[in-house]
A and B are shown apart, each in its own frame.
Chain A
Amino acid sequence: MITWILIVAVIIVAATFLIYYNRFVALSHQIDNSLAQISVQLKKRSDLIPSLLASVKGYMKHEKKIITEVTNARKALMSAKGVEKKMKAGNKLQSALKSIFAIAEGYPDLKANQNFLQLQQELSAIEDKVAYARQYYNDGIMSYNVMTHKIPGLWFASIYGFKPKEYLKIPEAAKAVPKIKF
């Protein structure tokens, strides 16, 4: 009888160890994957820039400054390493794009250009997607961190060496309120 109880107890303990390990691994993978998704969206954004600039150039001959700003922001995004830096560069590019779209308001011909409109729609969709991917990433981090801080997850986390992870912060540039010039 006692041997049976012991065997059952051992099985339960082993199963708990296994379940917790798998949960940590699954969540870590989910987090890594959502991080990759953010990079994918940022890549898509930078890929769309050349065709946007091509469609804009003919109309905005006197707006060289903003066009070079976008080109530079794209270059910075492409050379950025690590998601934090990529996010930062991506945000810079996004704000540069916003100025382009604001300027475009003054060019009725450009606003009627189908190609331009499509690119504008696509780029704003990417902005939404980046935000959603970041939200999912942070959701993943939250459940991961809650698990590493709660008992018994806390014990298993220290046994397996899973450390709490950092949330993805919104880079400073994005938080700054844009200055309005008159």
Chain B
Amino acid sequence: MNRLSFHDEIKRNKISSYLLIGIILFVLLILTYAIAFSLGGDYFFLILIIGIPISIAYVLIGFYKSADIAIKSVNAKLAIGPQYRQYHNLVEGLCLASGLPKPKLYIMQNQQINAFASGRDPQHAIICVTTGALEKLSKQELEGVLSHELSHITNYDIRFMTLTAVLVGMIAIISQLFLRSLFWSSITGGRSRENNNVILMIIGIALAILAPIIVALVQLAISRKREYAADSSAVKFMRTPTGLIGALTKIKNNTPMKVSGAVAPLFLAKPTKQKEWFMTHPPLSKRIARLERM
């Protein structure tokens, strides 16, 4: 039932995922060409021949391994052991309510209350919660949080969000590398390489400008709407908003945690302090107010 009524949402998420892959691949290929052009000289074709497969492989790995990368980047561990029985039971119950296969469950060591879901589709999904969430939330509140994360899985938000985190994160790294190599070559480089330096500099500056713009665009696309949608389908699974309201209220009193900006949009509530218009999540008070009206 839920899947049928959220059909458009799912379709949109799938399309924007493929679009994102296309754009990133395009950017990477242009980059390869630019690097080959500026550094190559005689090795122009060699760099192209090496660079293109690497770009394609990178995007493919980003698509198939995105969940693993997200897990590793926050240093999460599989939730195994009797102390996680309740966590498993709650997810199993919600999976029965939503008709989803059970995702793999992870925990990350952190005192803050937070959670995220990742993966390319419901069959390869994972859910990760912080140890703080397991300790500080009541059973019903934890269930509300897990229900919200499962909604991201049914709506295919995870595919798009995780791809964003992995692929856009890479662009940020490349632009950093470029700027640094620029810095080093300006120290060590002689006059003979001045020409190359100019091109490198242009690429570096272009990347440095481009990366934040891409991040911002993607974050706008992820949009706060997805969070509201996930909140409302979370309520649909649980048939009561009480748990999620309680959890969000507790999160409001959280101090922000430290994670890389790239994985920030994945989380239940924004983990870092961001400027208002760069926000990946709607303000908690607005989400709570909406839930209270349900």
Contacts and interface: CB of A to CB of B under 8 A. Distances in A.
A30 to B, nearest CB: 7
A121 B86 contact: yes
Interface string A102-134: 000000000000000010011001001100110
Interface string B66-105: 0000000000000000100110011011101111000000
B1 A143 contact: yes
B276 to A, nearest CB: 38
B239 interface: yes
B99 A129 contact: no
Contacts of B97: 132-133, 135-136
Contact of B85 (A118, A132, A140): A118
Nearest to A147: B4
B2 interface: yes
B147 to A, nearest CB: 10
Interface residues of A, number: 19
Contact of A129 (B85, B86, B93): B93
Contacts of B92: 125, 129
A37 B96 contact: yes
A63 interface: no
A114 B239 CA distance: 32
Contacts of A122: 85, 89
Contacts of A136: 96-99
A139 interface: yes
A140 B89 contact: no
Contact of B93 (A34, A132, A139, A140): A132
Interface of A: 30, 33-34, 37, 41, 118, 121-122, 125, 128-129, 132-133, 135-136, 139-140, 142-143
